[in-house]
Amino acid sequence: MMRAVIMMNDKGKPRLVKFYEHQPMEKQHELIRKIYAVLCSRPESVSNFVKVDSLFGSDARLVYKTYATLHVIFIFDASENELAMLDLMQVFVETLDKCFSNVCELDVVYNFNKVHAILDEIVMGGQVLETSSFEVVKAVEDISKLEKGSNSIMLVPSIPGWQGR
């Protein structure tokens, strides 16, 4: 099961934080600081898989990848495959690229609702729902169409004899 998805910039500022297990806000900030400290202390030549038992309890693992100035981090338990999580991360980033045409940190900051919608199409409640970036993009486009349709003013025809009681 997924425990968290975090995107942070290269200075440790969180840009997307989604915990799938309740964590008090203070604990979330502490975990993000500790994760950033772990990532900063790792040489570039080591793997992107980290055991984080001390932070998230037994069997917790973390996989991360750096894209330009953004670190994308998935935290999950032993029931998930590390390589599958790395692939899922790639699907997430590819989907963001398709939706924002070469996603950058500002896209994540200024379009956080859309980024969360994309993530929710891929992972909901800690369970992986979709692994196809094509299907995710299609779903997000459908959501956007519905939002645009609901923002238009619709005239309600009057019903003869009805007094609106």
Q: What is the CATH number of the domain that holds 64?
A: 3.30.450.60
pLDDT, residue 50, reads 87
Q: Alpha helices of 74-125 — where are they, by DSSP H?
A: 82-100, 105-110, 112-122
Query: Is 0.75 topped by the overall pTM?
Result: yes
| Burial class for 148, CB neighbours closer than 10 Å (0-12, 13-18, 19+) | exposed
For the chain, the domain total comes to 1
pLDDT, residue 154, reads 55
**Is residue 156 in some structural domain?**
no
**Is residue 159 in some structural domain?**
no
**Is residue 158 in some structural domain?**
no
Regions of the chain short of the pLDDT cut 50: none
Query: Distance from first CA to last CA of the chain, Å, rounded?
Result: 51
Domain that holds residue 145: 2-151
b/e map of 5-39 (b: 16 or more CB within 10 Å)?
bbbbbeeeebbbbbbbeebeeeebeebbeebbebb
91-124, pLDDT tens digit by residue? 999 999 999 988 889 999 999 999 999 999 999 9
**Is residue 163 in some structural domain?**
no
**Beta carbons of 108 and 117 less than 8 angstroms apart:** no
pLDDT, residue 105, reads 92
pLDDT, residue 151, reads 63
Q: Tokens 């037994």 label which residue?
A: 58
pLDDT, residue 155, reads 55
**Is residue 57 in some structural domain?**
yes
pLDDT, residue 159, reads 62
